[in-house]
Amino acid sequence: MKIDLSGKVAVVTGGAMGIGEACARKIALAGASVAILDPNEDAGTKTAAAIRAHGGECKFFRCDVSKSKDVEQAVGDVITKHSQIDILVSNAGIQYYGDVITTPEDDWDRVIGVNLKGCFLISKFCVPHMISNGGAIVVLGSVQSFTAIQNSAAYVTSKHAVLGLARAMALDYAHKGIRVNCVCPGTIDTPMLHWAASLSPDPESVIRTCDRMHALGRIGKPDEVADAVLYLASPMSSFITGAALLVDGGMLVPAGGMAFQEGGTGASTKK
């Protein structure tokens, strides 16, 4: 069944690159008018132009989602142009590394500011424009909304929190016809992943390790996450709200991780 979002207006934060770009592109090609909110003006402008070149309607709005004035202005500009908002994809996110001792306070504030406060602010300013007609909000969490990796205290905290925020909003606005769900990706082939891998002396080894972390034996693609977002943003998921959808290639399925499956008790007894 083809998803048709004709006549809908969608806001996608962090839509200039990576998962956000894939979401913006797929939602636009399904017929919605898309507003990309992102602080990266060069990348955002190019992405919007590329979407228009393929027949979609898309406009870029410069916005730092951690700043209330930026978000209020950008959402106001979207309303001025389109008079409505039907879909919100809260995707903007950053990652810094460190434990609670080594993480500078400024880094903590920045990660929480973009990943969590940004989700709060974009919802705060978009939801009032969705209440009259209902709509769909999709928040981008992570497998780290459920679990943790070492040396990533701020990011893990932010992704646990956005899942809680999505569930809270699902309850608060269900009676208004607004569905809120959370998509939780595993490791995805994005600029953020390659930046993280570049911090290692052997980036290719990091990518190979990431491949092996998933039961499917590979990292995911942005389009694979965007397909899940598109589904949750569409009428096809009309009876789904407050859900957390893992798009993780089976990463969280194996007890003890994939290495344990290769050499742990179950593997050792396999004939």
Bridge-partner residues for 98, per DSSP? 152
Name the active-site residue from 96, 97, 155, 173.
155
Q: Give the integer Cα–Cα distance in Å for 89 and 167.
A: 15
Identify the three-state secondary structure at position 66. coil
**Which residues have a Cβ under 8 Å from the Cβ of 266 and sit 6 or more positions away?**
none
Q: Give the integer Cα–Cα distance in Å for 78 and 82.
A: 6
Identify the three-state secondary structure at position 60. strand
Is 96 labeled as catalytic in the residue annotation? no
Residue 7, number of CB atoms within 10 A of its CB: 10
**Which residues have a Cβ under 8 Å from the Cβ of 170 and sit 6 or more positions away?**
179, 180, 181, 241, 242
Place of tokens 């916005």: 63
Catalytic residue numbers, as ranges? 155
